Amino acid sequence: MSSKLKNAADLEAYRKRVAEKSRPSGKVVAICAGTGCCAYGALKLAPAFREELKKHGLQDKVMVRQTGCHGFCERGPLVVIQPEDTLYQRVKIQDIPEIVEKTLAGGEVIERLLYHDAGGQAYTKESEVPFYKHQMRLILAHNGHIDPTSIDDYIAVGGYAALGKVLSSMKPEQVIKMIKASGLRGRGGGGFPAGVKWESCRAAKSEDGVRYIICNGDEGDPGAFMDRSVMEGNPHSVIEGMIIGAWAIAHPGKPAGYIYVRNEYPLAVERLGIALKQARELGLLGENILGSGLNFDIKINKGGGAFVCGESTALMASIEGFVGEPRAKHIHTVESGLWNKPTNLNNVETWANVPLIIERGVEWYTSIGTGDVRDNPWGGSKGTKIFSLVGKVQNTGLVEVPMGVTLRHIIFNIGGGIIGGKRFKAVQTGGPSGGCLPESLLDMPVDFDELTKAGSMMGSGGMIVMDESTCMVDVARYFTHFLADESCGKCVSCREGLKQLSLILQRICDGQGRPQDLELMESLSETIREASLCALGQTATNPLDSTLRYFREEYIEHIEQKKCRAGVCKSLIRFRILADKCTGCMLCAKKCPQQCISGEKKKPHVIDQSKCIHCGVCRDVCNFDAVVVE
Amino acid sequence: MEASETVKFKVNGVEYTGQREQSLLDVLLELGYQVPHLCHHQAVTPYGACRLCLVEVQKGKKRRLTTSCNYPLLDGIEVFLDTEKVMRNRRTVLQLLLAQAPRAEKVRELAAEYGVTDTPFQVEDAENRCINCGLCARVCRDIVGVEAIAFSGRGLKKRMVSPYDDTAEDCIGCGACVYVCPTDCIGMKEENGIRHILRWKRKLPLKTCSVCGRPFAPTFQLNKFAEWSGRPREFFDKCQDCR
Amino acid sequence: MDSNRLEQIIDAHGRDSANLLAILQDIQKQENYLPRETLKELAKKLNVPLSRIYSLATFFASFSLKERGKHICTVCMGTACHVRGAPRLVDQVEREFGIKPGGTTADKKLTLETVNCVGACALGPLVILDGEYHGNMNSAKLERVLQPLKKE
């Protein structure tokens, strides 16, 4: 059992002691143990590897380590063999004996387990796989190399060095100055300069010195899982950032920390819990941290399943034990927030950037990204951003790139383009508060301000790629319904406004759109945007507005011609069996829940349209591509 | 918040001096301006639900549309009432309220004042009166101190109900909620010595005054008063007039 | 729920009403839903109005006030899963078991729930059955996953 570290020098001595054990000179089998890979049984791989290695007598020569999320979830379970950096994807438990024998013992590479691109070319090294090659992995750098349940691993790769530097040689005001100069802007969606926020919070009056430091881990945007990956894969990076924040914002004083994690991330809650416990054991949380006089600890609060709790005032209400109803922010939360005390809230990824900036400096950090932040913290977007690239791309997963690369680079060079040879149609950024951008904007640099100008926003980093088989009216309907359901319901403009907008969009998708609906939606959208109380309502119409702006023809087609060109809206489509492709195998007829497909064996089948409910099962089961949607 | 701080502000171009206050709406109403509102009451904290009290406020270089009930009166602000932006949004909000609560007389009256007589939006419950202003719950919690009712659900499903939509067992039958409701949707009856608060399904037998024999308050309520005040129970056996 | 067990849960959270959300989560973890009687008792023990507890229990989507089934099937309805056909999976369960999202079969065997994104977006559509995640689902795979339940 380690005893508490007394000061920064103690920490460095500890680092040297654990380095050898954590960074072995022999081979390491790094198995991704993020939620995605675990869904594919990744947790069974480590014990299986260890057993197999024993059989070959290699258990002392090869280390098996479960790591955080590698980000290439679609290809999971992922296993990387170090130091060769060999990446194996879609590893099954049956593959393990072969891997041990051929690769670990024999030094050979197993071709079929390597990543192959659409053209069939195989890549051996993780760093060369196009998905990874074009990324700049700074926040996610250690995800594949450390065991998130081991603080020793984190310290061995340099973790908590930034904290040591801050607590032993930097005054709080100096830290704030550094964060301000770095141009770090909030990664949760707001894009507010972190240093400015820290400064305001420190300056706010607190009679008893109490200030709250909160981490917003309520990543509610559907399609976004960056924060999940950081919390699961490298929880200490977030904790270190928060302790540095506590020093900068509230010392001397009584800072107290909270990490609010959404209920749907049980693994993140677990890993954070372990990390906090280990940090306390080493004295990195608690009293007189590293002999600096800083007293600080962090508590985890689980959400209850409410998207609106990602809004800062709703989140704080939830911590206080109330429903997540936002309040107007005419008095900012940095002055009066949680329990009316000065509160500094930042997103998971924002906190994880802090140790990096402290360690490597402002000049390095500002060399990455866009704009100029020397005189104006809003003047650019610095550093990297993690995006979750999902939808109709070849390579889906987490992508970390410097601010300013183009959408085209992310979607095509890293994402590998659209699957199935279909055409790119749109990319939705920023979650339900963001908008859909068309092909004509693919060369837009991705940064806070450019995205907002185009009618979308960066949001937390969700990036959903859509192709010709996505109906843009259905997308607007989906997001509007989502927000109407997740709205706290306090203010009329959001609650009733989104409800009515949802009803109109549903009618349009059902083929009952009226010519006046477009104008009605536009005027309603204005009120929802202008008159709502919080950011949920104020950004709720972005999906509608952006699709109306860039894909208006589809709305007109739905309303005037009752046509859904993407073949999605149930009431506007038909499923049909192509007689020349149908082999009469009778599979669809068997599976049809309405029993409305008829036909003799080996003869083309026919769907009875009057009974068809458009469930799509026939298309799912057909092995001959004989079922089409029109 | 330093309440004694003097502030200078303008309304529609006219200069005023005042004390730094929590609610711009209260200040405007006191100065005699007409600003529509449904979810606001001076006695309870502002909520910001109905969105009718919209104004435009210029603070420094920024000009924004905001509700006035929860906007603090700050030094140097310029307030603009009834601008085009305010009116446009106010009318849409009224249209939304008409669709939500078609039977609410107060909403109809207010809407008519602003030229809104019908609504392009879908009516789902033609009998509904409640506009989710929350005044009943806020009064019950902040003034009466009982908190017998609260919103349930969220978003489209948000409703003001007693727990489980069953008898509100904490309700003391004071009727404050009925009094403060702007759309008269709670309802209170007294029959056969029983006070019935309809929306909360609460029936409470009334105590008759030991002096004049008039039924004046629910026994349950008087028991609570005795408990909270520490006064002897007998004190509450007489009605207010006979005490 | 046993009165002592409820006391334990309340104590574990410092008897602090700020921790109501966590207390409710612990109750549901044990009882598989939030029983009315337990919530009434909680109100008394913690000296918090029942209306406030009811408010919390109905605001947050993770809570159920109705008894839930032995097995819980959750379909993710996040955007990535949606564009890959998640709604059709919900329809399928509705057809085969006769329950809508939030509902439980009459024999209390299965509850169908939906959730707005669990963060496994690259594997969509995703279905969680009794805590186990199943990715890249389609109608055939879903049938296979639910088959053992039909036999029970």
- Window from A189-203, B227-241, C48-62 with minimum mean pLDDT: B227-241
Q: Is A170 on the interface with B (CB under 8 A)?
A: no
Q: Is B87 on the interface with A (CB under 8 A)?
A: no
Q: What is the pLDDT of residue A63?
A: 92
Residue in B132, B119, B73 with CA at minimum distance from that of residue B93:
B119
Q: Which residues of A touch C118 (CB under 8 A)?
A: 35, 264-265
User: At A613, which CATH number?
Assistant: 3.30.70.20
How confident is residue C152, by pLDDT bands cut at 50, 70 and 90? Answer: confident
Residue A151 belongs to a domain: no
Complex confidence, ipTM: 0.94
What gap in Å lies between CA B3 and CA A223, rounded to an integer? 47
3-state secondary structure of C135: coil
Residues 6+ positions from B127 with CB-CB distance below 8 Å? B102, B103
pLDDT in tens, A223-261: 899 999 999 999 999 999 999 999 999 999 999 999 999
Kindly report the backbone phi and psi dihedral angles of residue A86, in degrees, each rounded to the nearest multiple of 5, phi listed first. -75, 125
Residues 6+ positions from A458 with CB-CB distance below 8 Å? A189, A191, A385, A429, A430, A434, A446, A447, A448, A451, A452
What gap in Å lies between CA A181 and CA A169, rounded to an integer? 18
Helices (H), B101-218: 105-113, 135-139, 176-180
Q: What is the pLDDT of residue C142?
A: 92
Q: How many domains is chain A partitioned into structurally?
A: 5
User: 3-class secondary structure for A34-102?
Assistant: CHHHHHCCHHHHHHHHHHHHHHCCCCCCEEEEEECCCCCHHHCCCEEEECCCEEECCCCHHHHHHHHHH
CA torsion, ordered B119, B122, B124, B129, to nearest 10 deg: -20
Q: What is the pLDDT of residue A1?
A: 47
Which pair of tokens denotes residue A66?
């479960």
If asked whether residues A196 and A316 sit together in one domain, one would say yes
Residue in B87, B96, B105, B239 with CA at minimum distance from that of residue B182:
B105
Judge: A492–B154 Cβ closer than 8 Å, yes or no: no
Domain extent listing, chain C? 3-59, 71-151
pLDDT above 90 coverage of chain C, percent: 72
Total residues found in chain B within this entry: 243
Residue A453 belongs to a domain: yes
Question: Is the peptide bond prior to C125 cis by the omega test (within 30 degrees of 0)?
Answer: yes
What gap in Å lies between CA A444 and CA A407, rounded to an integer? 6
Residue A264 belongs to a domain: yes
Of residues A611 and A280, more confidently modeled: A280
How confident is residue A621, by pLDDT bands cut at 50, 70 and 90? Answer: confident
Residue C120 has pLDDT above 90, yes or no: no
Please tell me the distance in Å from B192's CA to the nearest CA on chain A: 38
Q: Is A466 on the interface with C (CB under 8 A)?
A: yes
Q: What's the pTM value of the predicted model, to 2 decimals?
A: 0.94
Which pair of tokens denotes residue B137?
């719950």
Q: Which of C:30-89 have CB within 8 Å of B? A: 36, 49-55, 58-59
Task: Report CA-CA distances (Å) from A95 to A58, A70, C4, C133.
Answer: 17, 20, 50, 22
What share of residues in chain B are helix, strand, coil (percent, to 5)?
30, 20, 50
pLDDT above 70 coverage of chain A, percent: 100
Question: CB–CB of C81/C126 below 8 Å?
Answer: yes
Mean of the per-residue pLDDT values of chain A: 93
Q: Residues A600, A603, A608, CA angle at the centre, nearest 5°? A: 65
Between C36-46 and C20-31, two packed helices, what is the crossing angle to 10 degrees? Answer: 150
| Number of Cβ within a 10 Å radius of residue B26 | 16
Question: CB–CB of A248/A169 below 8 Å?
Answer: no
Judge: B88–A526 Cβ closer than 8 Å, yes or no: yes
pLDDT above 90 coverage of chain B, percent: 87
DSSP single-letter state for residue B156: G
Residue with tokens 């101190």: B145
If asked whether residues A87 and A195 sit together in one domain, one would say no
Residues 6+ positions from B150 with CB-CB distance below 8 Å? B137, B141, B160, C49, C51, C52, C54, C55
Judge: A527–B47 Cβ closer than 8 Å, yes or no: no
Q: What is the pLDDT of residue C124?
A: 81
Residue with tokens 């007589």: B117
Q: What is the pLDDT of residue A2?
A: 53
Judge: B48–A491 Cβ closer than 8 Å, yes or no: yes
Kindly provide the residue ranges of all beta strands, DSSP E only, lying in A194-308, ordered along the sequence.
Answer: 210-217, 254-261, 298-302
Q: Is A333 on the interface with B (CB under 8 A)?
A: no
What gap in Å lies between CA A539 and CA A498, rounded to an integer? 11
Positive/negative CA dihedral, A214, A218, A221, A224: positive
Written as one letter, the residue type at C114 is T
Helices (H), chain C: 3-12, 20-31, 36-46, 50-59, 79-83, 86-97, 139-151
Q: What is the pLDDT of residue A617?
A: 83
If asked whether residues A50 and A79 sit together in one domain, one would say yes
pLDDT in tens, A107-116: 899 999 999 9
Judge: B155–A488 Cβ closer than 8 Å, yes or no: yes
3-state secondary structure of B22: coil
Q: Which residues of A touch C138 (CB under 8 A)?
A: 620
Per CATH, the number for B135-237 is: 3.30.70
Residue A318 has pLDDT above 60, yes or no: yes
DSSP single-letter state for residue A3: P
Residue A175 has pLDDT above 60, yes or no: yes
Q: Is A225 on the interface with C (CB under 8 A)?
A: yes
Q: Which residues of C touch B148 (CB under 8 A)?
A: 49, 51
Kindly provide the residue ranges of all beta strands, DSSP E only, lying in chain B, ordered along the sequence.
Answer: 6-11, 14-19, 54-59, 62-67, 78-80, 150-152, 159-161, 188-191, 194-197, 202-208, 215-218
Residue B194 β-bridge partners: B191, B205
Q: What is the pLDDT of residue B110?
A: 96
Q: Is B81 on the interface with A (CB under 8 A)?
A: no
Residue A425 has pLDDT above 70, yes or no: yes
Domain extent listing, chain B? 1-133, 135-237
Judge: C50–B163 Cβ closer than 8 Å, yes or no: yes
Q: Which of B48, B72, B122 sits opposite A500 (nearest CB)?
A: B122
- Residue B93: closest CA among chain A residues belongs to which residue? A493
Please tell me the distance in Å from B7's CA to the nearest CA on chain C: 37
Residue A106 has pLDDT above 60, yes or no: yes
Total residues found in chain A within this entry: 630
Q: Which of A76, A388, A392 sits opposite C121 (nearest CB)?
A: A388
- pLDDT tens for chain B, residues 1 to 243: 455 688 999 999 999 998 887 799 999 999 999 999 999 999 999 999 999 999 999 999 999 999 999 999 999 999 999 999 999 999 999 999 999 999 999 999 999 999 999 999 999 999 999 999 999 999 999 999 999 999 999 998 999 999 999 999 999 999 999 999 999 999 999 999 999 999 999 999 999 999 999 999 999 999 999 999 999 988 899 888 888
Positive/negative CA dihedral, A518, A524, A528, A531: positive
- Residue B200: closest CA among chain C residues belongs to which residue? C51
pLDDT in tens, A504-552: 999 999 999 999 999 999 999 999 999 999 999 999 999 999 999 999 9
Please tell me the distance in Å from B29's CA to the nearest CA on chain A: 20
Please tell me the distance in Å from A477's CA to the nearest CA on chain C: 12
Architecture of the structural domain at B1-133: Roll (3.10)
| Contacting partners of chain B (3+ CB pairs under 8 A) | A, C
Q: What is the pLDDT of residue B22?
A: 79
Judge: A485–B156 Cβ closer than 8 Å, yes or no: yes
If asked whether residues A307 and A439 sit together in one domain, one would say no
Q: What is the pLDDT of residue A456?
A: 85
Residue A154 belongs to a domain: no
Which pair of tokens denotes residue B24?
């711009």
Which of the following CATH numbers is that of domain C71-151: 3.40.50.2300, 3.40.50.300, 3.40.30.10, 3.30.1330.50?
3.40.30.10
Calculate mean pLDDT across residues A348-356.
98
pLDDT above 90 coverage of chain A, percent: 79
Question: CB–CB of B53/B81 below 8 Å?
Answer: no
Judge: B153–C51 Cβ closer than 8 Å, yes or no: no
How confident is residue A76, by pLDDT bands cut at 50, 70 and 90? Answer: confident
| Contacting partners of chain C (3+ CB pairs under 8 A) | A, B
Interface of B to C at Cβ within 8 Å reads 137, 146-154, 162-164, 168-170
pLDDT in tens, A557-578: 999 999 999 988 988 998 999 9
DSSP single-letter state for residue B143: I
| Number of Cβ within a 10 Å radius of residue B128 | 16
Mutation for testing the B interface, residue in A500, A501, A502, A536 having most B CBs under 10 Å: A500
Between A235-250 and A194-203, two packed helices, what is the crossing angle to 10 degrees? Answer: 40
Task: Report CA-CA distances (Å) from B207 to A202, B144, B169, B194, B230.
Answer: 57, 20, 18, 9, 19
Judge: B154–A530 Cβ closer than 8 Å, yes or no: no
Quote the domain boundaries for residue A56: 8-133
Residue C24 has pLDDT above 80, yes or no: yes
What gap in Å lies between CA A145 and CA A263, rounded to an integer? 27
If asked whether residues A361 and A214 sit together in one domain, one would say yes
pLDDT above 70 coverage of chain C, percent: 100
What gap in Å lies between CA C49 and CA B172, rounded to an integer? 13
What gap in Å lies between CA B110 and CA B100, rounded to an integer? 15
User: At A232, which CATH number?
Assistant: 3.40.50.11540
Question: CB–CB of A160/A236 below 8 Å?
Answer: yes
